[in-house]
């Protein structure tokens, strides 16, 4: 697998300090993300997750002023020299606050905005808008104005707008903060379907690991602007559970329960990352 891995994100010693800020927001970030990975990015509030996402889509340094260090390439583009218009074709970004992202008169126009700006034909635009709205379950909202939507609906419309661009990587910054658990699962599931069907790369910032554990193979944990853990989700949960808990990362409840029982010697084996895993491990133990 290693030799066929194509990198879509390569960061070398990446750092950024917002102008006027006392501390660097992110520092010493070395990161390589392969095409088609589903990555969970987490860590305590203020640790630099959104700032790293802003680097990935070029808002830093094109929009936010400050001191940049190191290098960052996304899908072959040097982030520091590409105009944001070029970057927006390839890198889809769903903001932490979706109302910052929606500005057209209707939902449908909003979703069409990106492809229209890329100069596609009317047919192509209609096709992309329809597909994106179908996947995100927003077709019924198309005549509404963005301000008439709930937070969760806004998040889904923002995701539709990003999907209509058919980017090669999608960065979702806490995309489920306004969603009920069921809808949040649906959005994560839709993102995962896209990854498998279209070979998209997905980076999701999320505090609640429960929601993403089923889909993400890899977890990146930040603290104080740095990456403090990076690896296979199951392995990191199994081997660095105490570190994650210490940082206040919202570890899956089933992993927490398992690790407590394991500490007390009542259970053995790897910490499961979601309920189905735990169920099959337990039923395996019971039938032996
Ligand atoms: N526009 C800005 N100007 C100056 N400093 C900023 C700006 N945005 C973020 N920061 C600072 O950068 C650091 C990292 O913030 P960032 O928003 O990246 O954290 P985060 O991990 O996304 O937090 P949260 O989980 O609360 O969203 C913080 O110290 C924050 O105060
Ligand atoms: Mg943030």
Residue 140 alpha carbon to ligand 2 centre in Å: 30
| Per-domain residue ranges of the chain | 2-234
Residue 236 alpha carbon to ligand 2 centre in Å: 22
Ligand 1 residue neighbourhood (C-beta within 6 Å): 18, 21, 25, 45-51, 64, 96
Task: Give the C-alpha separation, 155 to 177, whole Å.
Answer: 9
134's tokens: 């179908």
Position in ligand 1 atom list of the atom nearest CA 48: 18
191's tokens: 């993102």
Ligand 1 binding pocket mutation candidate from 47, 96, 225 (most atoms within 8 A of CB):
47
Distances (CA, A) of 113 to 9, 47, 153: 26, 32, 18
The neighbouring-strand residues paired with 15 are: 69
pLDDT confidence of residue 1: 47
Count Cβ atoms below 10 Å from residue 286 Cβ, excluding itself: 7
Edge-to-edge order in the sheet of strand 7-18: 26-34, 7-18, 66-74, 77-78
What is the SS3 assignment for 225? coil
pLDDT confidence of residue 3: 53
In sequence order, which residues have a C-beta less than 8 Å from that of residue 277 and are 6 or more positions away? 254
pTM above 0.95, yes or no: no
CATH code for the domain defined by 2-234: 3.40.50.300
Residue 49 alpha carbon to ligand 1 centre in Å: 8
In this structure, are strands 7-18 and 26-34 parallel, antiparallel, or unpaired? antiparallel
Residue 98 alpha carbon to ligand 2 centre in Å: 13
pLDDT confidence of residue 184: 80
Q: Please, where are the H alpha helices in the chain?
A: 49-56, 59-62, 84-90, 107-117, 122-135, 151-163, 181-198, 209-212, 233-239, 241-246, 253-263, 275-287
pLDDT confidence of residue 219: 96
Number of H helices, E strands in the chain: 12, 10
CA 142 to centroid of chain Cα atoms: 25
Residues 62, 88: contact at Cβ < 8 Å?
no
pLDDT below 50 — which residues of the chain? 1-2
pLDDT confidence of residue 197: 84
Nearest CA to ligand 1 atom 14: 48
């Amino acid at each position: 697998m290693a030799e066929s891995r194509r990198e879509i994100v390569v960061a070398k010693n990446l750092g950024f300090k917002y102008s006027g800020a006392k501390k660097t927001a992110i520092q010493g970030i070395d990161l390589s993300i392969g095409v088609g990975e589903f990555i969970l990015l987490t860590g305590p509030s203020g640790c630099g997750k959104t700032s790293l996402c802003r680097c990935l889509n070029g808002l830093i340094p094109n929009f936010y002023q400050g001191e940049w260090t190191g290098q960052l390439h996304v899908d072959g583009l040097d982030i520091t020299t590409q105009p944001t218009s070029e970057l927006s074709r390839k890198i889809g970004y769903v903001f932490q606050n979706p109302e910052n992202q929606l500005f057209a008169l209707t939902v449908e126009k909003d979703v069409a905005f990106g492809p229209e700006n890329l100069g596609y034909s009317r047919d192509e635009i209609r096709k992309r808008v329809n597909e994106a709205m179908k996947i995100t379950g927003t077709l019924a909202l198309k005549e509404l104005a963005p301000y008439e939507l709930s937070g969760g609906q806004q998040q889904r419309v923002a995701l539709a707008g990003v999907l209509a661009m058919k980017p090669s990587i999608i960065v979702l910054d806490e995309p489920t903060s306004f969603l009920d658990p069921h809808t949040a699962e649906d959005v994560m599931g839709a993102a995962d379907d896209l990854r498998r069907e279209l070979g998209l790369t997905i980076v999701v910032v999320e505090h609640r690991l429960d929601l993403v554990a089923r889909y993400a193979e890899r977890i990146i944990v930040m603290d104080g602007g740095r990456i403090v853990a990076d690896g296979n989700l199951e392995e990191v949960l199994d081997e660095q559970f105490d570190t994650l808990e210490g940082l206040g990362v919202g570890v899956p409840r089933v992993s927490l329960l398992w690790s407590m029982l394991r500490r007390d010697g009542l259970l053995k084996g790897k910490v499961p990352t979601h309920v189905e895993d735990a169920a099959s491990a337990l039923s395996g133990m019971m039938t032996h």
